[in-house]
Amino acid sequence: MAALKDIIARDYGTPAVVIDLDIVTHNIARLQAACEARGLENRPHIKTHKSPELAAMQREAGAAGITCQKLGEAEIMADAGFDDILISYNLIGEEKIARLAALIPRARIIVAADNPVAVDAYAEAAKRAGKPLEVIIECDTGRKRAGVESVADAIALAERIKASPQLRFAGFMLYNPEDAVAQTQAFLDEALAGIRGLGLEASIISTGGTPNLSNLGRIRGTTEHRAGTYIFNDRMMLACGAAELADCALHVYTTVVSRAGPERGILDAGSKTLTSDIGGLDGHGLIREFPQARIARFAEEHGFLDLSASSRKPAIGDVVRVIPNHVCVVVNMVDRLIAVRGDEVVGEIPVAARGRIV
CB closer to a copy of itself, 12 vs 131:
12
CB closer to a copy of itself, 80 vs 329:
329
User: In angstroms, what is the minimal distance from the CB of 80 to a copy of itself?
Assistant: 19
Cα–Cα distance for residue pair 278/326, rounded to 1 Å: 8
Cβ atoms 158, 198 nearer than 8 A: yes
User: In angstroms, what is the minimal distance from the CB of 163 to a copy of itself?
Assistant: 19
CB closer to a copy of itself, 41 vs 233:
233
Cα–Cα distance for residue pair 177/172, rounded to 1 Å: 16
Cα–Cα distance for residue pair 99/114, rounded to 1 Å: 20
Torsion angle of the four alpha carbons 193, 198, 203, 209, in this order, in degrees rounded to the nearest 10? -60
Indicate the burial class of 290 (C-beta count within 10 angstroms; 0-12, 13-18, 19 or more): buried
User: In angstroms, what is the minimal distance from the CB of 21 to a copy of itself?
Assistant: 22
User: In angstroms, what is the minimal distance from the CB of 308 to a copy of itself?
Assistant: 13
Label each residue of 222-270 as H, E or C: CCEEECCHHHCCCHHHHHHCCCCHHHCCEEEEEEEEECCCCCEEEECCC
Bridge partners (DSSP) listed for residue 251 = 18
Cα–Cα distance for residue pair 78/101, rounded to 1 Å: 13
User: In angstroms, what is the minimal distance from the CB of 273 to a copy of itself?
Assistant: 5
Residue length, the chain?
Answer: 358
Give the helix ranges, DSSP H, for the chain. 2-11, 21-37, 52-60, 71-79, 94-103, 116-129, 151-163, 181-197, 235-240, 327-331
User: In angstroms, what is the minimal distance from the CB of 349 to a copy of itself?
Assistant: 15
User: In angstroms, what is the minimal distance from the CB of 332 to a copy of itself?
Assistant: 6
CB closer to a copy of itself, 246 vs 315:
315
Residues contributing to the site for a copy of itself (CB under 8 A): 9-16, 47, 69-70, 89-90, 92-96, 99, 114-115, 117-118, 140, 144-149, 153, 255, 257-261, 264, 266, 268-269, 271-273, 275-278, 298-302, 304, 316-317, 319, 328-329, 332-335, 354-355, 357-358
CB closer to a copy of itself, 26 vs 272:
272
User: In angstroms, what is the minimal distance from the CB of 36 to a copy of itself?
Assistant: 28
Bridge partners (DSSP) listed for residue 41 = 224
Indicate the burial class of 102 (C-beta count within 10 angstroms; 0-12, 13-18, 19 or more): middle
CB closer to a copy of itself, 9 vs 107:
9
